[in-house]
Amino acid sequence: MNTLAGAAPMSHIRQYYALTKPRVIQLIVFCALIGMLLAVPGLPTLAQVQRALLASVGIWLVAAAAAAFNCLVEHNIDARMKRTAWRPTAKGELSDAQALTFSAALCALGSWLLYAWVNPLTMWLTFATFIGYAVIYTVVLKPLTPQNIVIGGASGAMPPVLGWAAMRGDVGPEALLLFLIIFLWTPPHFWALALYRVEDYRKSGLPMLPVTHGNAFTRLQVFLYTLILFAGCLMPFLMGMSSWLYLAAAVGLCGAFCVYGFRLWRNYSDALARRTFRFSLIHLSGLFAALLLDHYLLMPR
């Protein structure tokens, strides 16, 4: 009896945790942390480390709130898609009221933490990102236009800007370059997924690009965006934000992404689309890791 009684609450906790889309949130916090570290010349002081930790927690809370709100709004759509049918809101394990209360609590707690312990600018930028993703993208853009991921990608590109603002109290041109990279990275990353999940999106009724414009057109868009992304990823070097270490990593990673995009365009398979999607995650993580190494090892102070 005691074992069963103890198991039920843990199951409920896991249901709420699943609403936060943990893997997505990890990438968001990672990108925000990169922005924080790049905003500080040299090694951070203890006070700056403490501020970065508080900012990371606050950003995590608000991003998790946006993810939970997304699950709430899209529970009927999620139930029709194999990729998302397991979510607690899609299965009816958590009610709309429970998901909404959970989202509101996380957003309020994260916003308070950022306002009180980091700075008001970071709080307002993070809250604006919440509105951009949870309302403008999820409620308005996603069901309305196949360009939803392009326009809505602005919200997903905000984490390094939030991190920079947390440490500097402003939004510098370097932060905007990081924003640009993620903004250009999002379409080929997401459309590679949409290509091999096209039947899921067809069932959902969402106007995703492979559904509205077909496989061939989407493949071409993926390839073209990898080329544009290549150019965008050179900007930190050209603007003096980084040196040759980052440049070498950017050329290698972006060149490989372009090869994936070209192969996907010319010789499509679901397996290749999956590999392209997975490589896109390696690309962004590797790019930002190289930028960070460059910042600490080679850039003059």
**In the predicted structure, residue 150 carries a pLDDT above the cut 80:** yes
Residue 136 lies in a domain: yes
**Is the domain of 118 the same as that of 149?**
yes
35 burial (CB, 10 Å; 0-12 / 13-18 / 19+) is buried
The 10s digit of each residue's pLDDT in 175-195 is 999 999 999 999 999 999 999
The 10s digit of each residue's pLDDT in 113-141 is 999 999 999 999 999 999 999 889 988 88
The 10s digit of each residue's pLDDT in 71-105 is 999 998 888 888 888 888 988 888 999 999 999 99
169, 186, 213 — which closes off a domain?
Answer: 169
What pLDDT sits at residue 140? 86
More confident residue, 13 or 299: 13
**Is the domain of 108 the same as that of 187?**
no
**Is the domain of 19 the same as that of 153?**
yes
**In the predicted structure, residue 153 carries a pLDDT above the cut 50:** yes
**In the predicted structure, residue 7 carries a pLDDT above the cut 80:** no
148, 169, 190 — which closes off a domain?
Answer: 169
Quote the CA–CA distance of 188 and 125 in Å, as a whole number. 26
174 burial (CB, 10 Å; 0-12 / 13-18 / 19+) is buried
What pLDDT sits at residue 282? 96
Total tally of structural domains belonging to the chain:
2
**Is the domain of 77 the same as that of 195?**
no
Quote the CA–CA distance of 162 and 286 in Å, as a whole number. 20
**Is the domain of 210 the same as that of 156?**
no
The 10s digit of each residue's pLDDT in 188-242 is 999 999 999 999 889 888 889 999 999 999 999 999 999 999 999 999 999 999 9
Q: Nearest-CA neighbor of 114 among 165, 69, 170, 172? A: 165
Cα 65 from chain centroid?
14
Query: Per the confidence metrics, is the pTM higher than 0.85?
Result: yes
**Cα distances (angstroms) measured from residue 59 to each of 80, 106, 210, 227, 255:** 30, 10, 32, 31, 32
Residue pair 132/159 in contact (Cβ under 8 Å)? The answer is no
What pLDDT sits at residue 165? 98
| Mean of all residue pLDDT scores within the chain | 92
Residue 4 lies in a domain: no
Using a pLDDT cut of 90, give the percent of the chain over it: 74
**Is the domain of 75 the same as that of 208?**
no
141, 169, 197 — which closes off a domain?
Answer: 169
Extended strands (E) in the chain = none
**Is the domain of 127 the same as that of 203?**
no
- For residue 297, what are the domain limits? 172-301
**Is the domain of 299 the same as that of 187?**
yes
**Is the domain of 108 the same as that of 204?**
no
In this structure, how many other beta carbons lie within 10 angstroms of the beta carbon of residue 10? 9
Residue 235 lies in a domain: yes
**Is the domain of 19 the same as that of 164?**
yes
**In the predicted structure, residue 4 carries a pLDDT above the cut 50:** no
**In the predicted structure, residue 12 carries a pLDDT above the cut 90:** no
**Is the domain of 195 the same as that of 158?**
no
SS3 of 170, please?
coil
Quote the CA–CA distance of 296 and 235 in Å, as a whole number. 19
What pLDDT sits at residue 223? 98
What pLDDT sits at residue 84? 85
**Is the domain of 184 the same as that of 97?**
no
For residue 50, what is the domain's CATH number? 1.10.357.140
SS3 labels along 204-259: HCCCCHHHHCCHHHHHHHHHHHHHHHHHHHCHHHHCCCCCHHHHHHHHHHHHHHHH
Residue 9 lies in a domain: no
